[in-house]
Amino acid sequence: MSVKNVIFELTRLQKEVLELASPAQQVRKIVDSISEIVGTDVCTLYMVDPEKDMVLMASHGLSQTGPVSIPAGRGMVGMVATVRHPLNIANASEHPNFYYVEGSGEERFQSFCGVPLVHYGKVVGVLVVQRVDAVALSHESEAFLVTLSSQLAHIVADMPITLQGAHINTYIRGVKGSSGIGIGLSVLCHHGELYSVPDEPCPDIEAALVQWQQLLDTVQTEIQQEEKSLNALISNNVSSIFSTYSSLLADQTLTQKVETEIRNGNWLPGALRRSIQYFGDLFLAMEDPYLRARHEDIHHLGNKLLSTLQGGNNAQILQYQAIDQIILVGDEISISDIAAVPGDKLVGIICFSGSSMSHTAVLANALGVPAVMGVGSLRNLRNRERFIVDGNSGQIVRYPNDRMCKEFQRLIAVEKLLVDKLSTLRDEPALTPDGFTVRMFTNSGLLADLSPGLKHGAQGIGLYRTEIPFMVRDSFPSEQEQIDVYSQVFRAYADKPVYMRTLDIGGDKQLPYFPITNEDNPALGWRGIRFTLDNIQLLMTQVRAMLRAAGNEGDLHILLPLISSTEELVTFNQLLDEALKQLAQEGIQARRPKVGVMIEVPAAISQLAFWSSRIDFVSIGSNDLTQYLLALDRNNSRVASRYDHLHPAVIHELNRVVNIARDCKLALSLCGEMASDPMAVILLVGMGINTLSMSATKLGRIKYLIRALPHSLSQEILQQCLQLDDVTAIRSLLNSTLLHLNLHELVK
CB 453 within 8 A of CB 444: yes
Q: What is the DSSP string of 538-564?
A: HHHHHHHHHHHHHTTTSEEEEEETT--
Catalytic option among 119, 359, 557, 647? 359
Partners of 43 in the β-ladder? 60, 129
Whole-number Å distance between alpha carbons of 358 and 537: 32
Cα-based distances in Å from 505 to 277, 469, 618: 21, 12, 21
Catalytic option among 189, 202, 671, 721? 671
360 contacts: CB under 8 Å, gap ≥ 6: 177, 296, 300, 332, 333, 334, 335, 338, 349, 351, 354, 371, 373
407 contacts: CB under 8 Å, gap ≥ 6: none
Q: Are strands 617-621 and 497-501 parallel, antiparallel or unpaired?
A: unpaired
Q: 525-530 long-range CB contacts below 8 Å, 24 or more apart?
A: 527/562, 528/504, 528/561, 528/562, 528/563, 529/502, 529/560, 529/561, 529/562, 529/563, 529/568, 529/572, 530/506, 530/562, 530/568
Widest distance between CA atoms in the chain: 95
Identify the DSSP state of 450. Answer: H
CA angle (651 as vertex; 645, 656 as ends), nearest 5? 135
Q: Kindly report the length of the chain.
A: 748
No. of helices (H) and no. of strands (E), the chain: 26, 23
Whole-number Å distance between alpha carbons of 479 and 462: 23
CB 745 within 8 A of CB 705: no
CB 405 within 8 A of CB 388: yes
Q: Quick check: is 671 catalytic?
A: yes
User: What is residue 82's three-state secondary structure?
Assistant: helix
Report which residue type is found at 735: N
Whole-number Å distance between alpha carbons of 597 and 608: 9
Q: Quick check: is 359 catalytic?
A: yes
Whole-number Å distance between alpha carbons of 461 and 61: 61
The catalytic residues are 359, 671
